[in-house]
Chain A
Amino acid sequence: GNSVTQMEGPVTLSEEAFLTINCTYTATGYPSLFWYVQYPGEGLQLLLKATKADDKGSNKGFEATYRKETTSFHLEKGSVQVSDSAVYFCALSENTGNQFYFGTGTSLTVIP
């Protein structure tokens, strides 16, 4: 079956620290991978995506590389800001349909 596992939070970092949020997946086919972000009081929105192996998704200084050999899609940012405080969700969708599978979310708090 399909599933996503992401690191448990909460994560607290100081401003300008390096961020990694781990995400691994299990899929029966060749999925597309996504990171969604939910800022406080707002709805989920797409942060970045990658549709095939070795693709790198990037947005707002965040990056994630689709690693088929390790079935991973870890989210990274070199220097976090207070405004990055949010809950981050890793997700996958098979390229044969419309079903999405989400991880449990990782809460990030960045302190000045």
Chain B
Amino acid sequence: GAGVSQSPSNKVTEKGKDVELRCDPISGHTALYWYRQSLGQGLEFLIYFQGNSAPDKSGLPSDRFSAERTGGSVSTLTIQRTQQEDSAVYLCASSLFFTGTGPYEQYFGPGTRLTVT
């Protein structure tokens, strides 16, 4: 596609419910990243994928968070048993995969604003 898209743009959910956030990267971008941006905070790295595998899951805040990527394209971030502290904007970015000539620019989606009530 023309850019990184994310859905939904806004999600309001009750505490304890599960949510799924979707990211559709730029076609041909093999690297995909998830970040969380809380109010007044910077970007918190969550996880990144190269192809369908996630070599670095160290940023996931708890075992309630999981992510998958299928077909080297769309990725889903799932939060189980949501808590109020999960309220944030979840950003997805994609890039070409590093090939030894330096890291490529990340292209960001518009984000999903999650509110847990």
Contact = CB atoms under 8 A, between A and B. Distances in A.
Interface of A: 32, 34, 36, 42-46, 49, 51, 89, 93-105
B109 A43 contact: yes
Nearest to A100: B106
Contacts, number: 54
Interface of B: 4, 31, 33, 35, 41-43, 45, 48, 50, 56, 91, 93, 95, 97-98, 102-103, 105-106, 108-111
Contact of B43 (A42, A89, A95): A89
A105 B42 contact: yes
6 contacts: A34-B105, A43-B109, A44-B91, A44-B108, A45-B108, A100-B106
Contacts of B98: 96-98
A51 B102 CA distance: 7
Contacts of A103: 42
A101 B45 contact: yes
B102 A32 contact: yes
A46 B91 CA distance: 15
A105 to B, nearest CB: 5
Given A43-B108, A43-B109, A95-B103, A100 B33 contact: yes
Given A43-B108, A98-B97, A100-B33, A32 B91 contact: no
